[in-house]
Amino acid sequence: MASIKKIGRNDPCICGSGKKYKKCCLPQETSSESSNVLDFNWAKMRSTEREVIDDILLPYAFQKFSKEILEEAWEDFLLDEDLPEEFNSRSDAMFLPWFLFTWTQGGNHVVSQTIGMQYLQDKGTLLTAYQRKFLQAACESPYSFYTILEVAPGKSILLRDIFLQTDHRVKEKIATQFLKKGDIIYSRIVSLDGQEIFLGTSPYITPHNAYAELTNARKELEKMTKQKPLTPEVLRENAIQLRRLFLSFLAEQFKVPVFKNTDGETLELSKVYFSLEMDIQEAFEKLIVLSVKEDKKDFLSAAERNRQGQIERLKFPWIMSGNKLHKSWNNTILGSITLEKGSLIVEVNSRERAQKIQTLVSQYLKTSAQYQRTVITSLEKNAKETSKSQKSKEIDDFNELPEVQEMIRSLMRKHWDEWLDTPLPALNGKSPRKAAQKKEEQEALQALLLQFEGLNQRDPSDPANPNVEELKQQLGISGPLF
C-alpha cells in the first residue's frame, strides 16, 4: 500500500496555486472542519432539547402531577395579565420551556423546585451525561431581554443581554428571516460546550421604545441588589419582575391603536354634506380663502365642465398655514372640498374638523349653503371597502414618481433635523442631542440608532429612512454602535 505523505504548512499547496499550503487551502480546510464540528454540536444540542422536553420531562410532569398542572402554570405565567387568544395559540414554544425549566409555583400541585430539577433528583441516572448537562444548563439560564446587534441571514444572530450586558452569538436560521438589527426580544439563551441556542423565545418582538424602560429596570435591580454588573442568579431571583415587564409590553401591543391627525385629534373619516343654492364658480371664489397661498387658476383649469364651458364639478383642498406637530411644514391639508350643482361636500379626518368646516361654510356662504348631515366611516370599514391590491398599486405608483421621491426626501431631511432636538419617550423624555451628552442616556440613544440601521438594511431604498452616519456625526458619536 502506498503511503500518503502529509502536507507540511510551508509546502507548496496541492491546488497548484504556487502559494504555501498555510497561506492557501489550509485556512479554508480548517474553517470547514471547525464548522462541521460546530454544526454537529449545535445539532446535538437541538436534538437533545427535543428529547428532554417532548420525550422526558412532559411525560414525567403529566404522570407525576396530571395534565391539569399545565393550566395552573399558565395562570401563573400570565400574572393576571389579560391577553387575547392570539397570544395563547402562539405561545407553546415559549411557555413549555418556562413551565419545565423555570416554574416553581403551584396551586393544587405544590412545586418546590423546577420540574427539570425534580426529574434530575428523581430519575437523573436514566439520562445520558449530555442530557444531564443540557437540563442543568437550561434550569440555570434566566430569561432576559436582548437587543439584536447583528444578523447573519440563515446562520446566526449576535445579541446583547440588556440586563447582564453580555454578548452572545446564537446559531439560528429561521429567526434570521424576521429579526433585524435593533430589535428587542425576550428569551432565554442556553450555553453548552461552546454552543448557544434560544430556548423559549417570545413570538413577539418587544417595542423598540421599551429600551429606556428596560435600562431603568436594570438600574433599579443594580441598586436593589447592590450588584453591578448583574448576575444570572439575580435575574433568576427576579424572574417575575422581568416577566411582568414583558407581559406589560405585550399587552400594550395588543391594544387597539388610536390614530390621530397632526392636530392630535382622533382619526374619523368624515364627509360633511351641504345643500348649495349658488353658482359653483361663485361659491368657489368665496371659499378659495380656505386654500391659503394656492393659485385658484390651477383648480379652475382642472374643473369638470359641460359643453357650454360651465363648471359641473370642482375640487380643491382645505389648507392651513403651518403645522402643530411638524414645525418645518409650511402648511397642513385639513380636508378636501368638492363643489357640484346643488351640493357641497367636504371630506375631513376628524370630528373637530367636521365641526369647524360647518362654521366656516356658514361664515363664507351665509344662507346659500345649508348643512345637511355628517357621515362618519371607521378606519376599519374604509380599509375593507377599498380594494387592498388596488390601493397598494396606486400608492406604489404614486410614490415611485421622481418628484414625489424628492419631496419625501426633502420632508424627511427636515424631520430628522428636528428629531435631534425633539424630546422622546424612548429617551426618558430627553432629546437625542441632550441624551448624547449624558453617559447614562447614551445606551438607549445608541439602541435607537441601531434600530434605524436595521431599517436601512431591510429597505435601503426607502427615502423616509434616516442617514444614521449623519445623525451620529451631529450627535458626536463615533465608531460602531455598542
424 or 255, which is more confident: 424
Q: What is the pLDDT of residue 473?
A: 95
Q: How many CB atoms are located within 10 Å of the residue 288 CB? A: 17
Q: What is the pLDDT of residue 293?
A: 59
Q: What is the pLDDT of residue 407?
A: 75
Beta bridge partners of 54: none
Q: What is the pLDDT of residue 136?
A: 97
CB 115 within 8 A of CB 99: yes
**Per-residue pLDDT tens for 141-163?**
999 999 999 999 999 999 999 99
Mean pLDDT of 349-373: 96
Q: What is the pLDDT of residue 259?
A: 82
- Cell 380663502 found at: 289
Q: Which of 215-224, 248-257, 266-275, 419-428 has the lowest mean pLDDT?
A: 248-257
- Return mean pLDDT, the chain: 86
pLDDT class of 264 with cuts at 50, 70, 90:
confident
**pTM for this prediction:** 0.74
Indicate the helix (H) or strand (E) that contains 354: helix 351-365
426 or 398, which is more confident: 426
Q: Which CATH architecture has domain 269-377?
A: 2-Layer Sandwich (3.30)
Q: What is the pLDDT of residue 296?
A: 83
pLDDT class of 380 with cuts at 50, 70, 90:
low
DSSP label of 430: B
Q: What is the pLDDT of residue 19?
A: 58
Q: What is the pLDDT of residue 65?
A: 86
pLDDT class of 30 with cuts at 50, 70, 90:
very low
| Residue 3 pLDDT greater than 50, yes or no | no
**Per-residue pLDDT tens for 112-151?**
799 999 999 999 999 999 999 999 999 999 999 999 999 9
- The total number of residues shown for the chain amounts to 482
| Residue 67 pLDDT greater than 90, yes or no | no
CB 23 within 8 A of CB 15: no
Q: Which of 15-24, 49-58, 101-110, 322-331 has the lowest mean pLDDT?
A: 15-24
Domain range summary for the chain, segments of one domain joined by +? 47-254, 269-377, 397-475
Q: What is the pLDDT of residue 400?
A: 67
pLDDT class of 21 with cuts at 50, 70, 90:
very low
Instruction: Identify the top-confidence range among 28-32, 81-85, 195-199, 262-266.
Output: 195-199
Q: What order of strands is seen across the sheet that includes strand 143-152?
A: 167-171, 156-161, 143-152, 184-192, 195-198
Mean pLDDT of 386-392: 52
pLDDT class of 186 with cuts at 50, 70, 90:
very high
- Contacts of residue 223, defined as CB under 8 A and 6 or more positions apart, other chains included, come to none
Q: Which of 380-384, 435-439, 458-462 has the lowest mean pLDDT?
A: 380-384
Mean pLDDT of 7-35: 51
Grid cell for residue 371: 348643512
pLDDT class of 31 with cuts at 50, 70, 90:
very low
- Cell 456625526 found at: 473
Q: What is the pLDDT of residue 75?
A: 92
| Residue 35 pLDDT greater than 60, yes or no | no
Distances (CA, A) of 55 to 32, 134, 192, 308: 33, 14, 20, 85
- HSE-up of residue 73 (Cα within 13 Å, Cβ side): 23
DSSP label of 424: B
Handedness of CA 290, 295, 298, 301 (dihedral sign): positive
Indicate the helix (H) or strand (E) that contains 33: helix 25-50
Q: What is the pLDDT of residue 158?
A: 97
